Amino acid sequence: MTPAFRPGTAAIVEEFRQVHSILANRFGEPDSGYVAVVQLRADQGNYWHFNSNQAVFAAGSPGFVSVKEKDPAAKLGHEIGHFWTNGSGPAANFLREGWATYVESLVLEQEFGHDTAALFWKQHARAYFDHYDGRMSIWNSGNETDLNYDKGSWIFRMLEAAVGTEKFQKAMTEFSKRSLAGSADWETLADCLERQKPPDFDARQFLLPWLKEKRAPRLTAQADGRTVTIVQAGPAFVLPVTVEGTTSKGTERHIVWIRDSQTKVQFTEVVSGVRIDPDGLLLLAR
């Protein structure tokens, strides 16, 4: 680094140590042995850039490793995250950029807390619906847009919620090893998830609509006495949905798997109001 480079060598080393610790503890340590962070002085931009030859390039002088306010981001953490996965075949960039953006959320929550991570996810959801919903699918997309950053990261988040954190971490640890050792595609990821035997979960059924379809799920709810019917319009997604209903005895919640165009949920009392995915764990058209 040149003397004027910011955020400075000490800050970069400390960030690397923190991010490496987060990822190694959850997803194993990649067999790299060497990592370089190099200032790319010929590039006058201000951004972090990953190079597959065990190097993170810093174009110009990015000035920060992660930020909390307004637009939360962990850009250096994103590039460090690339050391854990590779990808091939259709949706290959989802396995790289979607993963690395998901890693940003882990770094932000560790450094700044839950609220910052929640804002990060809201902003990526907003960016997806503003620019890509109904226009483009992940299946054959490259790195020419931010689709894999915005939608791809959400797929990893939803996978974790669908199978549970422990099983997700074990599956991603296996996928990391397999993807770094040789060719690995989305079906490799599906196989790693299936090996964890999560109940009521079919990884291929879950993943394919998110990768191939251009639109996110549209879900509506209709209450009739104690029965709530969730209606899915458009392409069929298979996903776990939290349904919250207001009854005379207070709030009641159920988690149900949506597999068809209509799914009925039975409550213990008459339902007067319904919320779908109240915790915002799914990328849904709202």
* pLDDT one-digit tens code per residue, 37-59: 999 988 888 899 998 878 999 99
Pair (188, 272) in one structural domain: no
- Does any domain span residue 28? yes
Residues 250 and 130 in one domain: no
pLDDT for 2 equals 87
42, 60 contact by CB (below 8 A): no
DSSP string, 65-134: S-B-SSS-B-HHHHHHHGGG----STTHHIIIIIHHHHHHHHHHHHHH-HHHHHHHHHHHHHHHHHHTTT
Residue where a domain stops, chosen among 212, 236, 264: 212
Residues 6+ apart with CB under 8 A from 73: 66, 67, 104, 108, 120
pLDDT in tens, 107-137: 999 999 999 999 999 999 999 999 999 999 9
Same domain, yes or no, for 222 and 208? no
Q: Are residues 15 and 153 in the same domain?
A: yes
Mean pLDDT of 142-146: 89
* Shared domain check, 168 and 127: yes
Angle separating helix axes 153-163 and 99-112, nearest 10 degrees:
70
Q: Report how many domains make up the chain.
A: 2
**Average pLDDT score over residue span 149-163:** 97
**CB–CB of 23/32 below 8 Å?**
no
Question: Of the candidates 176, 192, 212, which is a domain's last residue?
Answer: 212
**CATH code of the domain in which 271 resides:** 2.60.40.1910
Tens-place pLDDT, residues 184-203 = 999 999 999 999 999 989 99
Q: Which CATH number does the domain housing residue 70 bear?
A: 1.10.390.10
Decide which of 167, 185, 212 is a domain's last residue: 212
